[in-house]
Amino acid sequence: MEAIELTLTAESPLAIGRQKPGGSISEAQDFIPGSVIRGALADLLLRQSRHRPGEALTGDLAALFTEARAAVFTHAYPGSGSRVLPATAFSSKNNPGFRSEAGKTGVFDTLLDRFCSQRLGIPFDPAEPDGSGGRVEPFGGFYSQEEGSRYRRVAVSKRLLTRVGINRRRATAADQILYSLEVINEGRAGRDGSLQPSLFSGHIYLQDRELAAALAGYLNTHARRLSLGGGVSRGLGRVSLAARHLRAPKPSLAERVAAFNQKLRQRWQQWQVFGDPWQPLPPERQYFSIGLQSGAILKERWQRTTVLTPQMLQEEANCEDGSLALELAFSSYAYVSGWNAAWGLFKDVELVTTQGSVFLLSTTQLERWIPILAEMEYWGIGERTAEGFGQIEVCSLFHHHFWENPL
In this predicted structure, what is the pLDDT of residue 122? Answer: 86
Domain CATH for 160: 3.30.70
Q: What distance in Å separates the CA atoms of residue 293 and residue 320, rounded to the nearest whole number?
A: 25
Q: Which residue has the higher pLDDT, 2 or 250?
A: 2
Residue 25 has pLDDT above 80, yes or no: no
- What mean pLDDT do residues 220-236 have? 84
> Which stretches of 116-267 are assigned E, i.e. beta strand?
136-138, 142-145, 151-154, 158-167, 172-184, 187-189, 195-197, 199-206, 239-247
| Structure confidence by residue, pLDDT tens digits, 322-332 | 999 999 999 99
Residue 33 has pLDDT above 70, yes or no: yes
Same-domain check for residues 376 and 302: yes
Give 130's contacts (C-beta < 8 A, 6+ positions apart). 105
Same-domain check for residues 219 and 282: no
Residue 193's pLDDT band (boundaries 50, 70, 90)? low
Same-domain check for residues 165 and 206: yes
| Structure confidence by residue, pLDDT tens digits, 49-72 | 776 666 777 788 888 888 888 899
In this predicted structure, what is the pLDDT of residue 251? Answer: 67
> In 28-41, which positions are buried (b, 16+ CB within 10 angstroms) versus exposed (e)?
bbbbbbbbbbbbbb
Q: What distance in Å separates the CA atoms of residue 21 and residue 292, rounded to the nearest whole number?
A: 23
In this predicted structure, what is the pLDDT of residue 95? Answer: 87
Would you say residue 91 lies in a domain?
no
Residue 148's pLDDT band (boundaries 50, 70, 90)? low
Same-domain check for residues 282 and 243: no
Beta bridge partners of 14: 184
Same-domain check for residues 220 and 262: no
Residue 22 has pLDDT above 60, yes or no: no
Other beta carbons less than 10 A from residue 274's beta carbon:
12
Q: What distance in Å separates the CA atoms of residue 205 and residue 184, rounded to the nearest whole number?
A: 26
- What mean pLDDT do residues 17-31 have? 69
pTM attached to this predicted model: 0.91
Domain end call among 224, 247, 270: 247
**CA distances (Å), origin 305, targets 277, 296, 357, 404:** 32, 10, 13, 35
Same-domain check for residues 241 and 362: no
Residue 156 phi, psi dihedral angles, 5° rounding: -105, 155
Closest by CA to 41, choosing from 217, 205, 227, is 227
In this predicted structure, what is the pLDDT of residue 286? Answer: 96
Contacts of the segment 157-160: beta carbons below 8 A, 24+ positions apart: 157/184, 157/185, 157/188, 157/198, 158/28, 158/182, 158/183, 158/184, 158/185, 159/13, 159/183, 159/185
Other beta carbons less than 10 A from residue 230's beta carbon:
18
Domain CATH for 353: 2.60.40.4350
In this predicted structure, what is the pLDDT of residue 230? Answer: 82
Closest by CA to 49, choosing from 241, 296, 222, 290, is 222
Q: Which residue has the higher pLDDT, 126 or 23?
A: 126
End-to-end CA distance of the chain: 33
Residue 342 has pLDDT above 70, yes or no: no
Domain end call among 228, 247, 266: 247
In this predicted structure, what is the pLDDT of residue 169? Answer: 79
Q: Above pLDDT 90, what percent of the chain? A: 48
Would you say residue 351 lies in a domain?
yes
Same-domain check for residues 279 and 371: yes
Same-domain check for residues 340 and 373: yes
| Structure confidence by residue, pLDDT tens digits, 354-406 | 999 999 999 999 999 999 999 999 999 999 999 999 999 999 999 999 998 89
Residue 143's pLDDT band (boundaries 50, 70, 90)? very high
Would you say residue 110 lies in a domain?
no
Residue 336 has pLDDT above 90, yes or no: no
Would you say residue 142 lies in a domain?
no
In this predicted structure, what is the pLDDT of residue 19? Answer: 59
Would you say residue 122 lies in a domain?
no
- What mean pLDDT do residues 101-106 have? 82
Same-domain check for residues 173 and 297: no
Q: What distance in Å separates the CA atoms of residue 20 and residue 333, rounded to the nearest whole number?
A: 13
Would you say residue 324 lies in a domain?
yes
Would you say residue 407 lies in a domain?
no
Same-domain check for residues 266 and 171: no
- What mean pLDDT do residues 201-228 have? 90
Give 333's contacts (C-beta < 8 A, 6+ positions apart). 306, 351, 352, 353, 354
Same-domain check for residues 307 and 334: yes
What residue numbers bound the domain in which 173 lies?
A: 2-81+156-247
Would you say residue 97 lies in a domain?
no
Residue 64 and residue 210 in contact, taking contact as beta carbons nearer than 8 Å: no
**CA distances (Å), origin 121, targets 252, 322, 325:** 34, 26, 19
In this predicted structure, what is the pLDDT of residue 344? Answer: 67
Residue 10 and residue 184 in contact, taking contact as beta carbons nearer than 8 Å: yes
Q: What distance in Å separates the CA atoms of residue 129 and residue 354, rounded to the nearest whole number?
A: 27
| Structure confidence by residue, pLDDT tens digits, 231-290 | 888 888 899 999 999 876 666 899 999 999 999 999 998 888 877 766 678 889 999 999
- What mean pLDDT do residues 100-117 have? 89
**CA distances (Å), origin 141, targets 100, 271, 274, 324:** 16, 30, 34, 30
Q: What distance in Å separates the CA atoms of residue 58 and residue 30, rounded to the nearest whole number?
A: 34
The sign one gets for the Cα dihedral 230, 233, 235, 238 is: positive
In this predicted structure, what is the pLDDT of residue 173? Answer: 76
In this predicted structure, what is the pLDDT of residue 91? Answer: 93
Total domain count for the chain? 2
In this predicted structure, what is the pLDDT of residue 371? Answer: 93
Q: Report the alpha-carbon angle 94-97-103, nearest 5.
A: 75
Q: Under DSSP, is residue 357 helix (H, G, I), strand (E, B) or coil?
A: coil
Same-domain check for residues 383 and 285: yes
- What mean pLDDT do residues 203-209 have? 92
Domain end call among 178, 213, 247: 247
